């Protein structure tokens, strides 16, 4: 994942690098809502580091200027104990060397705009979910966190 993020950040003109897992499709008819969240994030929180419209490591839109920092964090020896999706989320919330400027800038959607086909699997062994949990239209898990901006 680190190599893919670095490849895109160094070789393509873009504002964001989107991370989408193969078992997290976009909810039906929600592409316009994703674009609206991205537009409003740029308008209302111009210095944000990323946007999160899904759960886990999916639906993360990392600003290109933070992508290399995030990529390098994935390669740190201490990161072997932390799942990659959590490392990226933590960076976008301002935790991790080089991510400090991201504190209180992560933007999320109000509700989940992606659903999880593999609901019964997680990168964190202590997490288990039912089929109905964290699916389309559910309140985003970070919605209500005072360090996150929900649009």
The structure's pTM equals 0.85
Mean pLDDT of 2-19: 92
- Asked if residue 127 has pLDDT above 80, the reply is no
| Backbone region of residue 137 per phi and psi (left: phi > 0; alpha: psi in -120 to 50; beta: other values) | left
Mean pLDDT of 134-147: 85
- pLDDT tier at 25 (50, 70, 90 boundaries)? confident
- pLDDT tier at 125 (50, 70, 90 boundaries)? low
Mean pLDDT of 105-113: 95
pLDDT of residue 91: 93
Helix (H) or strand (E) run with residue 62 in it: strand 60-63
Among 102, 115, 118, 110, residue whose Cα is nearest residue 145: 110
- Of 42 and 138, more confident: 42
């Amino acid at each position: 994942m680190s190599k893919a993020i670095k490849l895109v950040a160094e070789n393509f003109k873009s504002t964001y690098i989107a991370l989408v897992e193969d078992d997290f499709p976009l909810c039906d008819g929600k592409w316009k809502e994703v674009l609206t969240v991205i537009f409003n994030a740029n308008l209302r929180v111009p210095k944000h580091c990323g946007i999160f419209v899904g759960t886990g490591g999916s639906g993360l839109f990392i600003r290109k200027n933070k992508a290399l920092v995030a990529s390098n964090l994935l390669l740190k020896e201490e990161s072997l104990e932390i799942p990659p999706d959590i490392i990226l989320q933590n960076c976008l919330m301002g935790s991790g060397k080089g991510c400090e400027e991201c504190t209180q800038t992560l933007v999320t959607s109000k509700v989940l705009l992606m659903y999880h086909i593999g609901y019964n699997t997680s990168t964190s062994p202590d997490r288990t979910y039912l089929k109905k949990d964290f699916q389309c239209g559910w309140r985003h898990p970070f919605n209500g966190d005072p360090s996150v901006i929900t649009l």
